[in-house]
Amino acid sequence: MVGVKINFEQEPQVFAGIPWKFGPKIMLEPSFALTFAHLRDHFSDTTTEFGKDLTMILGGNALEEKKKDWLVGNGTLIARRKFNFFDHFEEDDIHFVPVTEQDPEIFQIRGYKPHVERR
């Protein structure tokens, strides 16, 4: 709805008996966009694509300077100031994995938990 192509898993994973096709994990802080119109302004006139294994947090003026065409593949992106591809990516990847009986209840309710993979 804002002009961003979002990729999802092709094969579902099963969490607590429920098949689910995850896409990117995206958190938008209120400082990034408070309204749908503000969010659309960030991505208007761009060709943007998010990878299925992307974990991203956007806040502040992360997209102050619009990029015409940009692909954010997979990995972990945390940006709260003017976006710079070389400065904002973390070396760790975050994926969701099924919970076990030993995991805290907060994860068991969801059926999955975050798992950090070091590159």
The per-residue pLDDT for range 34-85, each reduced to its tens digit, is 898 888 888 777 778 888 888 888 888 877 766 666 667 677 777 777 765 5
User: Most distant CA pair in the chain: distance in Å?
Assistant: 48
For position 68, what pLDDT does the model report? 62
Phi, psi of 77 (to 5 degrees): -120, 120
Q: Which amino acid type is present at position 115?
A: H
Average pLDDT estimate for 108-118: 80
pTM of this prediction? 0.64
Per the DSSP assignment, residues forming a β-bridge with 54 are 75
Q: How large a percentage of the chain has pLDDT more than 70?
A: 80
* Domain boundaries defined on the chain: 4-118
